[in-house]
C-alpha cells in the first residue's frame, strides 16, 4: 500500500466511526477507530514523510476528518512520533 492509501484509510475510518457513533453503534465505531489507528501507525512507520502525507486531510470536506488528522499529528509531534 502507498502512503496515499493509508491516508485514504485514515479518512474513511474516521468518517465511518463518526457515522457509527451517531447511529449509536459503539461496536462498529470501535472497529473503525482501531483501523484508523492501524493506518496511522503505518504512516508513522514511514517517518516524517508518512506524517506529512496526513496533512492533506486538513482540506478534507468533513470536519471530523480534518480535526482527527490535526489531533493525531499534534499528538505525534508532542510524543516524538
**pLDDT confidence of residue 77:** 77
Say what the pTM is. 0.92
The Cα–Cα gap between 24 and 55 comes to 29
Per-residue model confidence as pLDDT tens digits over 38-57: 999 999 999 999 999 999 99
How much is the average pLDDT of 24-30? 98
Q: What percent of the chain has pLDDT over 70?
A: 96
Size of the chain, expressed as the number of residues it contains: 81
**pLDDT confidence of residue 78:** 73
Task: List, as one string, the DSSP characters of 51-62.
Answer: HHHHGGGGG-S-
- Considering its fold, how many domains does the chain have in total? 1
The Cα–Cα gap between 81 and 74 comes to 10
Is 30:56 a contact under the CB 8 Å cutoff? no
Give the residue carrying C-alpha cell 517517518: 47
Look up the domain containing 58 and give its range. 3-79
Report the mean per-residue pLDDT for the chain.
Answer: 94
CA 15 to chain centre: 9
Is 21:29 a contact under the CB 8 Å cutoff? yes
**pLDDT confidence of residue 76:** 83
Amino acid at each position: 500500500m502507498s502512503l496515499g492509501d493509508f491516508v485514504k484509510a485514515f479518512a474513511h475510518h474516521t468518517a465511518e466511526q463518526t457515522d457509527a457513533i451517531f447511529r449509536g453503534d459503539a461496536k462498529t465505531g470501535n472497529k473503525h477507530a482501531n483501523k484508523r489507528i492501524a493506518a496511522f501507525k503505518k504512516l508513522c512507520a514511514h517517518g516524517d514523510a508518512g506524517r506529512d502525507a496526513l496533512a492533506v486531510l486538513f482540506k478534507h470536506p468533513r470536519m471530523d476528518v480534518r480535526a482527527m488528522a490535526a489531533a493525531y499529528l499534534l499528538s505525534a509531534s508532542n510524543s516524538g512520533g
